[in-house]
Amino acid sequence: MLSRRAFLSALAASSAGTLARAQTSVKEAPPTVLRIERRSIEVNGKPASVFGVRQPDGTFGIRTEVGKRFRVRLENKIDEPSLIHWHGLTPPWQQDGVPGISGPPIPPGASADYDFPLRFGGTFWMHSHQGFQEQLLMAAPLIIHDQRDRADQQEVIIMLADFSFTPPEQIFAELKKSGMPSMSGAASPGPATMKGMGTPGTTMAPGMAMDKPDLNDVKYDALLANDRTLADPAVVKVEPGGRVLLRVINSSSMSAFHVDLGALDGELIAVDGFRTVPVTGRRFPITVAQRLDIRLAIPRAAAAHPVLALLEGENKQTGIILRAGDAPIARISDTANMASPALTLDLERRLRALEPLKPRKANRVHTLNLTGEMAGYRWSLNNVSWSKDVPPLPLAQGERVELIFINQTRMPHPMHLHGHEFQVVEIDGKRFAGAVRDTVLVPPGRRVVVAFDANNPGLWALHCHLLYHLEAGMFTTLRYV
Ligand SMILES: [Cu+2]
């Protein structure tokens, strides 16, 4: 039997769609075509060449339904190899879209086919896992509708991103050169605050008092919400008195935000696609790669309701405007009056999964110390920077596995496991049945434990989702058959 890997690479190497067609019953609709493309946007009044993942009719990403199969033909229309990861989904491992782990990248002009069942609904996304393509906005929504969607509810997607006119290779080179690149932001430490910063082997006891965390390695030229800044924000018409479901996706390479609903109360109903006991509030944290589903009741009066995203630790912001009726739209500055605080685990501690994992003792526990230093920009797990020679973490099918993340650095790290949803079960020694999700924030000095069921055998990536940390080696794999 042709392995899936061989199957995908055969498709990638030739233009043959024949294999896929042979597997497809005549009655099935053709697969959704997604194209990896170059496109132009305008940022701060200047043209920018970025990437996109779009259907032939221009739709970004995919909206589909739970219970359907994810049947996609991905076409590479750019002049370099690429591969797309379906973030948060649980495909067979060969279709997970991580070059060198799941399979080879798609060469320019070639395509690859995907076909697997969609087990659950929610807000997901897709992004390149190849090189630094994600920094050039190679990301798109992946929405799986389910019973949460109501006919009387308008869906509004907000894709957050960070943007720089500096090529990402140069950003990375400068980070590696000094650990404090010239594009380093206001919150970046001067030499006086560099002391003790994550020297090799430095350990910090979980929960110990931390100095100000080190945030925002990269100073960006703009923060985007649906490709726009607040100078010319996306304006979405909403019904006065109507209901809105915000699907917020943080597709940033490096930037975490506080989502700020202004005067509106929001009801958080899901994180990373998975339902939680609803939490009402006006401000919700979202680190890199996470998603928030927030229900809003729009007041009856005509008004413009900004939904802002405040960069953690700084006074930069982006956002969109929900416009109810013919309300005038006031210009909102991309600079807030004051810097926002760093993200904390206060919300994470309160979140409770609506459908938690069955309580069960872990069969296997892996401890992952998040390690590294700004100097030389070396990032690692258990002091090992990723290379092909690093053996995968072992586990076995059917096991309940717990991953203990202990952040020994001064930077927050959003940790993402591929191919499985996990549940947050402990923060700093306190057990609880927290949110089911796929990416969890581990702030400096903190200890976070997640649990998952080993029910999707294969070779899977496990990494920090900050793009330049991942590229610098804060990445590993796990494998079981
Ligand atoms: Cu990191």
Report how far residue 176's alpha carbon sits from residue 83's, in angstroms, rounded to the nearest whole number. 25
- Centre of ligand 1 from the C-alpha of residue 147, in Å: 35
- Per-residue pLDDT of 262-274, as tens digits, reads 999 999 999 999 9
Buried b (16+ CB within 10 A) or exposed e, 167-189: ebeebbebbeeebbbebbbebbb
Report how far residue 467's alpha carbon sits from residue 177's, in angstroms, rounded to the nearest whole number. 17
- Centre of ligand 1 from the C-alpha of residue 44, in Å: 28
Return the higher-pLDDT residue of 10 and 113.
113
Return the higher-pLDDT residue of 9 and 241.
241
- Centre of ligand 1 from the C-alpha of residue 348, in Å: 18
CB 417 within 8 A of CB 452: yes
- Centre of ligand 1 from the C-alpha of residue 473, in Å: 9
- Centre of ligand 1 from the C-alpha of residue 281, in Å: 28
- What integer is the mean pLDDT of 388-405? 97
pLDDT at 125 over 70: yes
Q: What is the pLDDT of residue 29?
A: 78
- Per-residue pLDDT of 185-244, as tens digits, reads 333 333 332 333 333 333 444 444 445 678 998 999 999 999 999 999 999 999 999 999
Task: Read off the pTM.
Answer: 0.89
- Centre of ligand 1 from the C-alpha of residue 476, in Å: 12
Amino acid type, 267: E
* Residue bearing tokens 């975490």: 256
Q: What is the pLDDT of residue 196?
A: 34
3-state helix, strand, coil split of the chain in percent (to 5) is: 10, 40, 45
* Residue bearing tokens 């100095």: 211
Report how far residue 424's alpha carbon sits from residue 356's, in angstroms, rounded to the nearest whole number. 10
- What integer is the mean pLDDT of 101-110? 97
pLDDT band for position 377 (cuts 50, 70, 90): very high
- Centre of ligand 1 from the C-alpha of residue 19, in Å: 40
Buried b (16+ CB within 10 A) or exposed e, 412-424: bbbbbbbbbbbbb
- Centre of ligand 1 from the C-alpha of residue 327, in Å: 42
Return the higher-pLDDT residue of 427 and 26.
427
pLDDT at 256 over 50: yes
- Centre of ligand 1 from the C-alpha of residue 415, in Å: 8
SS3 4: helix
Q: What is the pLDDT of residue 179?
A: 55
Return the higher-pLDDT residue of 22 and 314.
314
**Cα dihedral 101→441→168→59 (10° resolution):** 80
